[in-house]
Amino acid sequence: MRKFYLILWLKWIFWLTFLSVSLAFVGSGIITIVIYMKQGAVSLNGGVYRALFDILTFWFPIVWSAMLLLSLFLTLKRVFNRCYANFKFILFTCSDKKIEEISYADLVRVWRKWFFSLIWLVMVQVIVVFIFMKLFFHAETLFDWFNIYVLYLFLLISGYFSFMILSAKCKKVRLVPC
């Protein structure tokens, strides 16, 4: 059973990271191009390249935050009806019928429960790290570590435990052997 959760988690991490970073890069690239065009599309030189890179790096975390939320929803569909280490998650209707072809509309309630478990698990990690930082480090460095990339790491760690919570607490999701 642990092998199932580990393989599922690792594949989910790959797809979540790939999808969210790709969409964020494309989105921030489009914003950068639009800004470049609105400024008159001046000839490219070293200064313009640096300015475009600065614009891209400014918009990347902002767009990544939105794309991460979208990617969390899109990657959940990959979790169901796929065999990992001789087990798979099956989604059921309210009348206990197995859903063979899962649509995104079927996932909304499950995603909401799963997403809130992710939020709670990330919050627990932030509190534990905050207490650790408060006890062992200076007050000046209390929030130096806190950024979107650390929260993303917490999200990835929480993902592992949230799949266990999903299979245990959600009645519409069952773990069955392949």
CB atoms within 10 A of CB 57: 11
DSSP string, 1-69: -HHHHHHHHHHHHHHHHHHHHHHHHHHHHHHHHHHHHHTT-PPP-HHHHHHHHHHHHHHHHHHHHHHHH
Report pLDDT for 139.
Answer: 64
For 24, 27, 130, 176, the CA distances from 104, given in Å and listed in that order, are 21, 23, 36, 21
Report pLDDT for 142.
Answer: 62
d(CA 7, CA 162): 14
- Interval 65-103: pLDDT, tens: 899 989 988 888 888 778 888 888 887 777 777 777 777
The number of angstroms, rounded, from the C-alpha of 131 to the middle of its chain's C-alpha atoms is: 25
What's the domain count of the chain?
Answer: 1
- Interval 134-177: pLDDT, tens: 887 766 666 677 777 888 899 999 998 988 888 787 777 777 88
User: Residue 28 pLDDT > 90, yes or no?
Assistant: yes
Residues whose CB falls within 8 Å of the CB of residue 156, separated by 6 or more in sequence, listed in order:
13, 16, 17
- Interval 9-24: pLDDT, tens: 899 999 999 999 999 9
Domain containing 135: what range?
2-177
Task: Dig out the tokens for 59 from the structure.
Answer: 């918009």
User: Residue 29 pLDDT > 70, yes or no?
Assistant: yes
Pair 164, 118: CB distance under 8 Å:
no
d(CA 108, CA 106): 6
pLDDT, average across residues 46-59: 88
**Higher per-residue confidence, 157 vs 1:** 157
Report pLDDT for 147.
Answer: 79
Q: What stretch of H or E contains 102?
A: none
DSSP string, 90-106: EEB-TTS-B-SS--HHH
Instruction: Please state whether the predicted TM-score (pTM) of the whole model is above 0.75.
Output: yes
Share of the chain above pLDDT 70, in %: 95
Report pLDDT for 19.
Answer: 94
Task: Dig out the tokens for 79 from the structure.
Answer: 């979790």
